[in-house]
Structure 1
């Protein structure tokens, strides 16, 4: 647990889909061990791709042993939303906005069957003798298997995605922004904290990330606030050559940072990639860090 007045947050894609994910039984057990042991240092955990009730229960129970006793999931689609929020502090409200544009019906990737969307939880932080409101968002947008881009004609530092699924992913992000905006604006007016994490499936220099910053100007990238460069390879959460699962997923991916934590805070003490190699093995905790 962080010091009073500070919070420590983890966002992580568990890659917990039986049959489609590799070594999922072993990896999810090891993830549970991580939360059982290291969860004591965490205050908030935002998880994606927790696709089964078995894995939800496994991770919730393990986290609760470390004091992360509050948990919520969000329903949606045939497979559910795959989102799990764990917290050391109680929720005072939860909500979910399912994405209406989910993917190509009948496509082998199955995105249209998943109930992806953006989850929201309001949390009370008992710091400084008073309760401070924290607004949490957790999401997982449409996957990006190809990562093809082209330079923007007007913005030299922005790349436009050209993969087949870009329209679905961009639609997801616009829906997320629409859902988040009134809460983010009200939080700013009240001096309350906002954290929006998850697997956004977009790198920092893509148009989709630029849309988030343009349409929600109060939010900033925690990785950069901690002093890292936007494209610092130390922050790559997907497609890293050191990950044994890179190349085993559709498309193989390229090394990029596609998992973000956006915040309206002006101060982030530290931000790093974690949950890499599982102890006693040569395997990774997930296909993403």
Structure 2
């Protein structure tokens, strides 16, 4: 029986670093990104860090001829920064915002305000249903002392769960985005192991671009060179991952990355390098059945490793909750002592003693400010504890499930 002709899909993924008022040469770079996309005519474009709706509107107008269908995902205080452009009609969309995303008081990092999420668009091409996911996980600001690792592991777990629960009706699953994790990190191994997604870089028949597929490189003038000192070639944190769900096969024929500056110019498109893949999708002829879970011990191991990271984050969150709660109690006691002191002073007024109004007011204001701050922190860390505890229990349940059943379907 003759096979159906193969469908070839060209995919573009880029963290655009388009933060209003902060990102250098933002508008010029958005224009250059739009020009590149128009020239090459990609079928799917997955973008992160498009924080300005004006930038999205400009790209939408420019790409109207080659990718007339698009969606901008809105979440958080300033938005998710995620958007998708497609040559084919978008049938449905869905957004999931991660339950943990850093700390609101870490203003210098700002991830908490960005509403880190995963967006889903459903596209049907040549009678094949595609679930296209785009995401951006919490940044890693220190490799040695990564305070956000538990949050990023939780995000990777929620991303994997979201894909598994929403992709059941799809023929092909495609994920693109800035995962802010190296290929060997526990979060990437957890995501790939749980979902069965393939890495376009490792699967590509032909690769062209930065060595080792790196997407954050020292040669880029916008990268922080000190952060890349342990990695002279750079790091690979942007991915295109994929898998076939039903009776199809998906192969990566070609993968490319940009390599620094825009051709003919002295600036790059972003502080990240773009990832471009050519995927070949073909009908298998029959649906794939369940297979023996030969990778199950490895999956149990990575789940155990991820659970350990979550437990460490849970311990730290409990300590922070206790500290903020103790601070709130002390501030409350200070206010009570002041109230008692005011009563004593009022009694002294009868005897003609002066009333130190300014001192009492300043002390009361300080105690009240500390109380409100500590109460807010206690509430935040209480929520963090609940989310980490819930994820820990989910992982334990998943590990038990894997150990009890001999078959596992990806």
Q: Please, what TM-score do these two structures have when normalized by structure 2? A: 0.60
Query: Is 2:132–2:175's contact at 8 Å kept on the other side of the alignment?
Result: yes
Shift of 1:147: 2.7
- Report the equivalent of 1:142: 138
Alpha-carbon shift at residue 30 of structure 1 (Å) = 1.3
The aligned runs of 1:4-23 (5 Å cut-off) are 5-23=7-25
Which region of structure 1 is more displaced relative to structure 2, 5-14 or 23-32? 23-32
Gaps of 5+ in 2: 245-249, 274-410
Q: Identify if the C-alpha distance between structure 1 residues 140 and 201 changes in structure 2 by more than 3 Å, giving closer, same or farther.
A: same
Specify which of 261, 268, 284 is matched with residue 284 of structure 1: 268
Distance 1:252 1:26, change over 3 A: farther
Which moves more between the two structures, 133-142 or 23-32?
23-32
Does the CA-based 8 Å contact 1:236-1:257 persist in structure 2? Answer: yes
- Measure, in 1, the Cα distance between the counterparts of 2:262 and 2:74: 30
Shift of 1:213: 1.7
Q: Does the alignment pair 1:259 with 2:242?
A: no
Give 1:43's aligned residue: 43
User: What is the match of residue 172 of structure 1?
Assistant: 155
Larger radius of gyration: 2
User: How far is the alpha carbon of 1:233 from its aligned partner?
Assistant: 2.9
Deviation at 1:4, TM superposition (A): 6.5
After alignment, is 69-78 or 28-37 more displaced? 28-37
For the 8 Å contact 2:159–2:191, the answer to whether it is kept is no
Q: How does 1:55-134 map to 2 (within 5 A)?
A: 55-65=55-65, 67-107=66-106, 108-126=108-126, 131-134=127-130
Q: In 1, distance between residues paired with 2:243 and 2:21?
A: 39
Deviations 1:250-287 (A, max 9, x none): 94684111001111144110111137422432111100
Please say if residues 206 and 254 of structure 2, whose CA atoms lie closer than 8 Å, have aligned partners that are also in contact: no
Q: CA deviation at 1:35?
A: 2.0
Q: 1:154-169 to 2 correspondence within 5 Å?
A: 162-169=145-152
SS in 1 for 2:252: coil
What is the DSSP-based 3-state SS (H/G/I as helix, E as strand, rest coil) of the residue aligned with 1:287?
coil
Q: Number of residue pairs matched?
A: 258
Question: What's 2:319 paired with?
Answer: none
Paired residues of 2:135 and 2:179 also in contact (CA < 8 A): yes
- 1:35–1:62 contact (8 Å) kept in structure 2: no
d(CA) in 2 for partners of 1:183, 1:135: 8
Pair 1:244 & 2:221 matched: yes
CA distance in 1: counterparts of 2:9 and 2:271, whole angstroms: 26
Find 1:268's aligned residue among 239, 252, 262. Answer: 252
The answer for the alignment partner of 1:31 in structure 2 is 33
Deviations 1:180-236 (A, max 9, x none): 11233443xxxx11101101111111111110122112x11111110479xx83410
Does 2:211 match 1:233? yes
Alignment deviations for residues 95-136 of structure 1 (CA, whole Å, 9 cap, x no partner)? 00011211111212111111110000110103xxxx211110
- The alpha carbon displacement at 1:84 in A equals 0.7
Structure having the higher helix fraction is: 2
1: distance between equivalents of 2:33 and 2:178? Answer: 17
Aligned pair in 2 of structure 1 residues 97, 178: CA closer, same or farther (>3 Å)?
A: same
Unaligned runs of 5+ in 1: 149-161
Tell me, yes or no, if the aligned pair for 2:101 and 2:111 is still in contact at 8 Å.
yes
